[in-house]
């Protein structure tokens, strides 16, 4: 949804977001597939369900294409960006970080360091995109 809205509004806004989401999809797919594989022992089931979980993104884009079009106001775009940012932030703060901190045998320093490394990866991807489009 966010990629569609950002790209509809401006390709220069949509491209870095698409890159960021593509990078994000790698650990997301692993986060879905690994527990399924460990619970069932079936690689094919893990890959299938991991792939199916990724289909929510095209569904979101379809929904966004219905809501956000040329007649949409700037408020609609702003609202959709805000909604998406709020959902992603909520999941990170309420689910991912507490789960990481509850893992036994994992030091807080590793978790905090990994968090900031993730931020750095996203920041570097945006810088790389700016450099690539400036040429």
State yes or no: pLDDT of 64 exceeds 90: no
pTM for this prediction = 0.50
Q: Give pLDDT, residue 5.
A: 65
Q: Evaluate the CA torsion angle 61, 64, 65, 68 in order and state its sign.
A: negative
Instruction: Answer whether 4's CB lies under 8 Å from 68's CB.
Output: yes
Q: Which two three-digit tokens encode residue 45?
A: 């089931």
State yes or no: pLDDT of 18 exceeds 80: no
């Amino acid at each position: 949804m966010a990629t569609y809205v950002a790209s509809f509004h401006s390709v220069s806004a949509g491209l870095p977001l698409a890159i960021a989401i593509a990078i994000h999809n790698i650990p997301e797919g692993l986060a879905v597939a690994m527990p399924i594989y460990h619970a069932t022992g079936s690689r094919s089931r893990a890959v299938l369900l991991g792939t199916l979980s990724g289909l929510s993104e095209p569904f979101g884009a379809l929904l966004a294409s219905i809501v956000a079009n040329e007649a949409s106001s700037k408020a609609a775009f702003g609202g959709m960006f805000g909604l998406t940012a709020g959902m992603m932030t909520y999941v990170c703060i309420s689910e991912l970080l507490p789960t990481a901190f509850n893992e036994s045998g994992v030091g807080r320093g590793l978790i905090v360091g990994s968090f900031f490394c993730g931020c750095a990866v996203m920041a570097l991807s945006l810088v790389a995109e700016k450099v690539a489009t400036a040429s």
